Each structure stands twice: as C-alpha cells, then as structure tokens.
Amino acid sequence: MSTLGEIVALSLAVSLSAVALASLLGLPLGAAIAVGRFRGRRSIIVLLNALMGLPPVVVGLLVYLLLSRAGPLGSFGLLFTPPAMVIAQTFLVLPIIAALCRQSVEDAWVEYEEQLRSLGADGLRAALTLVWDIRFSLVTAVLAGLGRALAEVGAVIIVGGNIDGVTRVMTTTIALETSKGDLPLALSLGFVLIALVILLNAAAQLIKEAAQRRYG
C-alpha cells in the first residue's frame, strides 16, 4: 500500500504538471483573445468563461474515451497512468487559466493600448508584452487553476483508476476511505490537502508581493 508521502507527492506532481502545461498554452491563448479583433471573438469569450465550470467527471470521461484501447490515442497505452491524469487535469484547468488571463490582459490593454500601438507593437507582440508586464497579477489565474487541479476527484479517478501505488492521489484516497468508512483517515487526509493548498497560495502571495514591491 502506498504511503501518505507517496500519495501527497503524486498529487503534487500530477497537478503541478497539469498547471504548468495549461499555463504554457492558456496564458498566450487568453492574451491573444484579449488583444485580437476577429469574428466570433465574443462567442469564444462566452464559451471560454463557460468552460471554467467544466464538470471534472465529464472531462475525465472524454479523456477516457480518447485514451481507451479503442480510442484515437489508445495505442499509447496511457490510460490508468499518471500521464493520463495530467492530460485530463490540463484540459480541466486550461479554460480557467485562459479565461482569467484574458480578463486581466484585456483590462491592462485599456491602459497600454495607445502607448504600445504608438511604439508599433502589433497583435501578438503586444499580447506577449502584456502577459509579461502583468505577470504578477497572472499568478492569481495560475493559482485558481492549481486549486482546481488539486481539489478535483472526478477526472483523475476515471482516467487514473485510483490504483494503489500507481495512480492513487489525495482526493481519490479520501473518496475511497470515506466509502470504506474510515472517516478519521479521510478527514485527516482532507486537512493535509487543505493545508497544502493554503501553503502553496501563501508562498505564491509572498513571491508576488516581493516582486511587486521591487517592480512597481
């Protein structure tokens, strides 16, 4: 049976990887939508905002279908492995990071637009400049994504299978122990999870504040 340490470590590894991937894709995507002027932009914004509320079990199910033996990506044999969990959580978190980034960049664009256009920074260039310039505010978007990833159980339990020692993470363990009736263990794991999330957020906040004092 996997130890508590292994479970916590896997939780962190899966969710941090998913958030890193989702940030890499979601931040430029959100910024591009914020700065871009194209047809269907408003519909995309509505869709993106709606996707923030994607039910984890539905994402889990879709990724399950993609990765299952008969699915289009079945040949990679990823189902019931940690990479499958990372993929599912990336899909889950991507809209959150992209949508929150879109909003922040759009707000900043109001302030920067004339100056950047005056200097000759066009679409993509302006978007990347903005993302870098409001990087401290975007920490909040990334943290929202991380909170979602660490807290969800629906997606990881479907694509991971909660296999002891392989794909068992904190939330799936809590679900399992609760159903087995071991409430004290489930509850203490719950507290560990909450403490961990608070700790990560506190660290991010400290870094953000220090950076803001430094750069204004």
Partner 1 sequence: MAASTGILPLDLRDLRFAMGGRAIIDGVSVLIEAGPATIILGANGAGKSVLMRLMHGLLRPTSGQIAWQSRDAERVRRGQAMVFQRPVLLRRSALANIMYALELARVPAAERERQAMDALREVGLVDVANRPARVLSGGEQQRLALARAWALHPEVLFLDEPTANLDPGATREIENVIKAFDASGTKIVMSTHNLGQARRLGDEVLFIHQGRLAERAPVDKFFRQPASAEAAAFLKGELPWD
Residues near partner 1 (CB under 8 A) are 111-112, 114-121, 125, 129, 132-136, 214-216
Give min distance, CB of 202 to partner 1, in A: 23
Distance CA 113, CA 131 (A): 13
* 202 vs 211, beta carbon nearer partner 1: 211
Q: How far apart are CA 44 and CA 46, in angstroms?
A: 5
Report the alpha-carbon distance of residue 189 to residue 64 in Å, rounded.
27
Cβ 161 to partner 1 shortest distance, Å: 45
Using DSSP, state whether 38 is helix, strand or coil.
Answer: coil
Q: How far is the CB of 131 from partner 1 (least distance, A)?
A: 11
Residue identified by tokens 């505010």 is 137
Q: Give Cβ neighbours of residue 36 (< 8 Å, ≥ 6 apart).
A: 123, 127
Q: Which is nearer to partner 1, 191 or 215 (CB)?
A: 215
* Comparison of 96 and 108: residue with beta carbon closer to partner 1: 108
Name the residue nearer to partner 1 (CB basis): 111 or 164. 111
Q: Say how many C-beta atoms besides its own lie within 10 A of residue 195's C-beta.
A: 10
The closest alpha carbon to 155, from 93, 201, 72, 100, belongs to: 93
Nearest distance in Å: CB 34, partner 1: 17
**HEC-encoded secondary structure of 148-178:** HHHHCCHHHHHHHCCCCCCCCCHHHHHHHHH
Whose Cβ is closer to partner 1: residue 93's or residue 138's?
138
Min dist CB 100 to partner 1, Å, is 19
**Contact (CB, 8 A) for 98 and 33:** yes
Nearest approach, Cβ of residue 118 and partner 1 (Å): 5
Q: Do residues 97 and 141 make contact, with C-beta atoms less than 8 angstroms apart?
A: yes
| Residue number, 135 or 140, with CB nearest to partner 1 | 135
Q: Which amino acid is at 208?
A: K
